[in-house]
Amino acid sequence: MAKKEVKKVENLGHGVGRRKTAVARVYLREGEGKIVINGRDIDTYFGNPMLTYIVKQPLETTETTGKYDLLINVGGGGPSGQAGACRHGIARALCAHDEGFRPALHAAGFMTRDSRMVERKKYGQPGARRKFQFSKR
């Protein structure tokens, strides 16, 4: 009885991207440009073409659009935050694979994490900044 040979897929680079409350784990692999997000194709996962454009920006900047396959696991936040997290993770994964991409990606602003988050609601208040109406009497 012959054993089946399992083909091991090797990750060329790995990157974690974050934006708002979304976190994306990106795995860069040798391939022909297929992007899979949470087991679905990028076009079916992000229905909006603007969000797919945001995700593909680091690949277009480094001119590696058809060279690598991307496997992305993303969670938390909404569609816009998830797209930004994917973009950040892809940029980090490309830099992990080839350090020569770093200057172009940094100049485009893809290496910096967008740290803007919704401010938390404080106790004793109706919202994050809003106070109850002042009453003199």
Average model confidence (pLDDT) across the chain: 93
Q: What is the pLDDT of residue 137?
A: 83
Tokens of 5: 């040979």
pLDDT in tens, 19-71: 999 999 999 999 999 999 999 999 999 999 999 999 999 999 999 998 999 99
Could you tell me the pLDDT band of residue 1, with boundaries at 50, 70 and 90?
A: low
Tokens of 97: 């694979």
DSSP assignment letter at 109 = T
What is the tally of structural domains in the chain? 1
At residue 100, the 3 state secondary structure works out as helix
Examine the pLDDT at 85 and tell me if it is beyond 90. yes
Q: 89: domain CATH number?
A: 3.30.230.10
Provide mean pLDDT across the span 6-11.
Answer: 80
Does residue 132 lie in a domain region?
A: no
Q: What is the pLDDT of residue 9?
A: 78
pTM reported for the whole predicted model: 0.88
Task: List the alpha helices (DSSP H) in the chain.
Answer: 42-45, 49-61, 79-97, 102-108
Residue-range definition of the domain harbouring residue 54: 11-108
Does residue 33 lie in a domain region?
A: yes
Could you tell me the pLDDT band of residue 4, with boundaries at 50, 70 and 90?
A: confident
